[in-house]
Amino acid sequence: MPAVLNTNVASLWASKNLLGAQSKMADSVERLSSGLRINRARDDAAGLGIATTLTNQINGANQGARNLNDGISMVQTAEGAIAAAAEMGQRILTLATQGANSTYGPAERSALKAEMQQLIVSINSITNRTTFSTNSLLNESATATGIKFTIQISNTSTDVVNLDAAAFRNVGTASTFTYTALTADTDVSGLADGNYTRYVDVGGVKVAKTLNVNGSDYLLDGLAFDKANYATLYTQSVGAGAAGSAAALSTAINSADNTATFQAVQTAASTYVTALSTQRSLLGAYQNQLEYTVSNVTALSANLSAAKSRVIDTDYAAETANLTKGQILQQAATAMLAQANQMPNVILTLLK
């Protein structure tokens, strides 16, 4: 190597190596301080792309697990309401069996009928109050099918669990019954002798009553009724929608007054309880499905997080070794740069 003054090649190379050692040591410090192997795209462009995709999947899976747990809570809410309605259905069946016994007279049967009608009112109340996050859970018709709710499981739009409307059928009489107030005296006085179902308002709920007409005598559930009070009575009709599961049972109860009609209530009550059992079974199946899906999605999130960690997280064992190497190289390069900067002094010796 020639002895020159203007260009200190050894110093240039030592300076270059010092800068390289400092840059690598700075990278090691950044990775150790942040805990991330990839802090910017230049660190590993392909790895950053993979990590971003994995992050999308992990976030979707984590939110999907929360969605599924909300779905489980919703299904449990609906199933609990149906269980309460089923208990009342069983009570109605018991009362109907009691009323079908011919040892009972009109007064006893009237009392049994009144209790059954009040149970129908309670069942309707269950239907109306069973909501989840403002969504009515039991408002589908007794023959409803199709998708009622969709549970989103991940960041993929098609990855869903669909809950059928059959599991959320109206367990009451109907959500579309309308009541019309009687508006003329002839609505009552013009009736032929016999029993008629009319309704009265009890706290905003229409309760069925038996209006008995016998010449000039009027009885409402066995109590004297003044026909001038016709404005307190309502007639019932079904709107455009289909009736709920208890519609046939309610109709049978309103007509119950002898052994045969109480037997008809028995049949209707048995059918009603069976329908509720089927509906609860479907909700139970959905609950199991959602719980197993939560387990799967949670495991998926854990595995994806482990894969992301392998790509993006700092390996402290390897990085501390790199930092130590960088520190030694920096010290060595600094020392060699100092030596290289002293090399032109040799020319002074030649000039003496």
User: For 311-341, what is each residue's pLDDT tens digit?
Assistant: 888 878 888 888 888 788 788 878 877 877 7
Quick count: other Cβ atoms within 10 Å of Cβ 331? 12
Res. 240: pLDDT tops 80? no
Q: Which domain holds residue 200?
A: 177-238
The answer to the question of residue 156 being in a domain is no
The answer to the question of residue 207 being in a domain is yes
* DSSP helix/strand/coil, 182: coil
Tokens coding 136: 């009515």
Q: List the one residue out of 77, 227, 61, 194 whose CA is nearest residue 138.
A: 77
The answer to the question of residue 140 being in a domain is no
The answer to the question of residue 224 being in a domain is yes
pLDDT average, residue stretch 284-308: 93
pLDDT of 338: 80
The answer to the question of residue 185 being in a domain is yes
- DSSP secondary structure, 198-219, as one string: EEEEETTEEEEEEEEEETTEEE
At 15, the pLDDT band (50, 70, 90 cuts) reads confident
The answer to the question of residue 191 being in a domain is yes
The answer to the question of residue 243 being in a domain is no
Distance, first Cα to last Cα, the chain: 21
Domain count, the chain: 1
The answer to the question of residue 184 being in a domain is yes
**pTM for this one?**
0.69
